[in-house]
Amino acid sequence: MKFIRNLSITKKIIFQISKPILNPLLTLKNSHYGESCYIFGDGISIKWFDLSEFSNKTAFSLNKIGFHKHSNYLNLKYSLFIEPFYFYPYFWDRDKATVKETGKKFFKNNVQKKFREIIKKQENTTFFTNLSNYPVLWDSNVRYLFQFIEDSESEFLIDCFQNKENIFKGSLRSAISLAIFMGFKEIFLVGCDYTHEITRSHHWFEKGQGKISKKPDYLEIFLNIAKKYANLTTITLEGSGSNLPSKTYHEFTGKEPKFKENYDLMENSMLDVLSKDPWFKETIF
C-alpha cells in the first residue's frame, strides 16, 4: 500500500471504491515482455513522416493520431485519451486568458463524439482514459487510469514513487509508464517533439510548419528513470534528442522526410470539428 500513502483522503477513498474498475489494468503486466514498440505523439514532425514506415511494431497512439488518414498502417494496439473529464458534453476552459477573451468558461465538446466513434470502430485496440471519464464511457475495450498502478513488485513504479514522479501526469509519461509495465524493452518515440533538442511548435493537424524552438528539459527526471528500465529512442526530423538517444527519420527509415499539409493528413470533416475547438480555432484553416 506504499503508493497510496501520499494521496489525499478524498483520493484514497476514490481509489478504494474504484479498485474493481482499475484492477483490469493489472492483467497487462509483462504482456509484451522483451518486445519493441512505438509511441506516437501529436508533434508537428509527423507532417514529414510516412506512417507506413512504422508498421512493424506494436504502437501506442496519444490523443489524435487515430484521426490521421494513414493511421491504418500502424499496429495500433493501445491508444490514450487521458484528459480528465474529456468525454463529457462540455469542456471546462481553465486558461484564464482565454476565458477573459471569450467570456466563456465552458465550450461544447464536439471532439469527444469523434473519439467515441474510434473506440467503437477499433474493437481490438485497448483505450486508456482518466478514471473521471468512467461515468460517461463504459466500452469493453476501455481501461481506466488513476494516480498510479498498485504493484509493489515493480522496481520502475517504486523508483517513480520514491522520486515523486506521477506516472499518469500527461499522455507521454502515461504511455511510457504503461509500456514499461507491459514489459516492452525498446521504445521508439515518434512525433513526441518535446523530446527533441530542436523542436517546432503546433501539432500535425494544424496548418503550417510551426516555429522552431528549444525544449531542453522536458520530463528530465522521469525520462532518466524510464531509461533504466527500457531503451528509449526519439525519432527526430532533424538534430538530436533532448535527454534521450535519437535517430533522425532519415537515419531510422532510410527515406527522406517529405512535408504534407494538415488537410493531406486529416479528413476535412475532422478538421472542421477541431476548428470549433477553442484551442485550435485559429490554427486549423
- Condensed to tens digits (0 to 9), the pLDDT of residues 64-77 reads 999 999 999 999 99
Distance CA 235, CA 244 (A): 10
Kindly list the strands in the beta sheet with 231-236, ordered across the sheet, starting from the edge strand earlier in the chain: 142-145, 126-130, 75-81, 58-62, 36-40, 186-190, 231-236, 246-248
pLDDT at 108: 84
205 vs 8, higher pLDDT: 205
Taking 70 as the threshold, does the pLDDT of residue 100 lie above it? no
How open is the CA angle 50-61-260, to the nearest 5 degrees?
30
Q: What is the mean pLDDT of residues 57-68?
A: 96
pLDDT in tens, 249-281: 999 999 999 999 999 999 999 999 999 887 888
Taking 90 as the threshold, does the pLDDT of residue 92 lie above it? no
| Helical pair 268-275 and 111-121, crossing angle rounded to 10 deg | 140
Low-confidence winner among 12-26, 64-78, 118-132 (lowest mean pLDDT): 12-26
pLDDT band (50, 70, 90) for residue 101:
low
Cell 462540455 locates to: 90
Of the chain, the percentage scoring pLDDT greater than 70 comes to: 93
What mean pLDDT is reported for the chain?
Answer: 92
